Structure 1
């Protein structure tokens, strides 16, 4: 480089000599800055590319793990669904047997039909969901195959539950009716001196309808309620003498006549087997005995249809045999 020093104002030749080196210097600086900027941009791009690539790899790995976990959960759920299906079928069979034993008609054939329809696909392709046809792939999404089967089995469970409720109600009602039946022997002396039906009246001698059973028993023997109910009458009535009448529900009434003593009053609630009176011979009677009647809606019924088969105590019968034989000859 050549530098020219002059005195006074620079000439044109001097100015031209200075501008050329400065321009060259500026060009070099510009190229250097451009190269540096390019290198910086490239390094940033490369770094960002590596970061994005790493993030995508991590996301893919997480997605694969979640997919594998979900597939395992679906398979476990499908297995549980199969167990639930088996239990529902078992409940269906049990309800049928209970209904048959209880004498209640089983009227829900749709349950088994629904189970048969839903059952086969449930266990298909378990453990190899990827190989399953698209329409059978197990999924937990709403409307999916497994989701629909879950809804179907839930409906069957609800139907079974309603069926058991109805059966429980029917059995409860039946138990209530059976509990109200006068099936307990009203005296401890099951010696029948006169049965239900037409007979010669012991006093008038005419053939009349005997509307109950006569049990010969010692005077003062306890008389028991054949079933629980409400006392509707307790007092003297023509022909019956001292009589207790009990209403058991469902238009069913029992009467206990010829008592020597009454131990209840109208309006009392009595239990099955409760002592309500003492055996006597009041009213139209020829000797100590209990006249026992069962009426349905006012019509007499044969009490033998209701009374349980009693196994008499041999000792009791032995002790009372002599007295009963004597009394039975009087009571006809």
Structure 2
């Protein structure tokens, strides 16, 4: 009897399990509703994927346009493409040309493929942003460098009584290196800062007479010697074109003039490398007003 009871129990359990595993059957109306919903979902997904693909194409076109613009701006700005950092950045920012997205591209139509392309475009946009930031930095540094260069004429008298280089010293009669330019100008004529900077010397210096020295940063300095008077003091910050002194003949000099020097890390440079082209004359010429003093025939 116990064995029979166990057999009956097993058969009953199997029957109940079979009944529970039977899937409920759907009537035709339910099947139609589910099919229509699936169709609508599929159409919605396809529509959004198509819109996403179109936006990907638009972004690619804009990136190509930005890449061309950045190269044109760099070309106009004179930024050399041979610079290793700039060249590397430009190569990274290059956008591949893609005119269309079709079924032939397979995964490109899928959400996963479009997501990958969007990630790639995001990286390319970041590279373009970095490139423009680098270009802005280069232009800013260039503007700052150019602003520091002593390009402003220190006097309004462009005639030179002595140029940069070896010459016979008018005082000692010996040949010596003349480390600046001598501008023929009447006593009292204003002397201007050739560039902005900080006044590091404003005092009498043997040989130079009353001297103004201005530091323009990065080891670049200018000197203005033989002044009759000085209107700035050590530590003053001056702007390009600001009056700093007046022409004179103090120190070792044979006549009223301005001795102008440009030095880099202590070494004398030819000021004509920075100033507009000057005219060297054998005889001094001065556009002096009626009240200005005459200029001597020789100056140092």
CA deviations 1:215-261 (Å, max 9, x no partner) are: 11121111111001111110000011000000001110100001111
Q: Measure, in 2, the Cα distance between the counterparts of 1:201 and 1:137.
A: 81
Equivalent runs, 1:1-332 vs 2, <5 Å: 53-101=28-76, 102-105=78-81, 106-107=87-88, 108-112=90-94, 115-116=96-97, 119=98, 123-125=100-102, 132=103, 135-136=106-107, 138-140=109-111, 144-309=112-277, 319-320=287-288, 327=295, 329-331=297-299
Q: Measure, in 1, the Cα distance between the counterparts of 2:186 and 2:34.
A: 99
Q: How many residues align?
A: 265
Q: Gapped runs of 5+ residues in structure 2?
A: 1-23, 82-86, 280-284
Which of structures 1 and 2 has the larger relative contact order (alpha carbons within 8 angstroms, sep 6+)?
Answer: 2
Q: Measure, in 1, the Cα distance between the counterparts of 2:233 and 2:108.
A: 76
Indicate the structure with greater helix content: 1
Q: Measure, in 1, the Cα distance between the counterparts of 2:227 and 2:286.
A: 24
Q: Measure, in 2, the Cα distance between the counterparts of 1:281 and 1:249.
A: 29
Match of 2:17 in 1: none
> What is the alpha-carbon root mean square deviation over aligned residues?
2.8
SS of the aligned residue for 1:283 comes to coil
TM-score, scaled to structure 2 = 0.79
8 Å CA contact 2:168, 2:175 repeated in 1: yes
8 Å CA contact 1:232, 1:247 repeated in 2: yes
Q: Measure, in 2, the Cα distance between the counterparts of 1:94 and 1:179.
A: 27
Structure 1 residue ranges (4+ consecutive) displaced by more than 6 angstroms after TM superposition? 321-325
Q: Gapped runs of 5+ residues in structure 1?
A: 1-47, 126-131, 312-316
Q: Measure, in 1, the Cα distance between the counterparts of 2:165 and 2:158.
A: 18
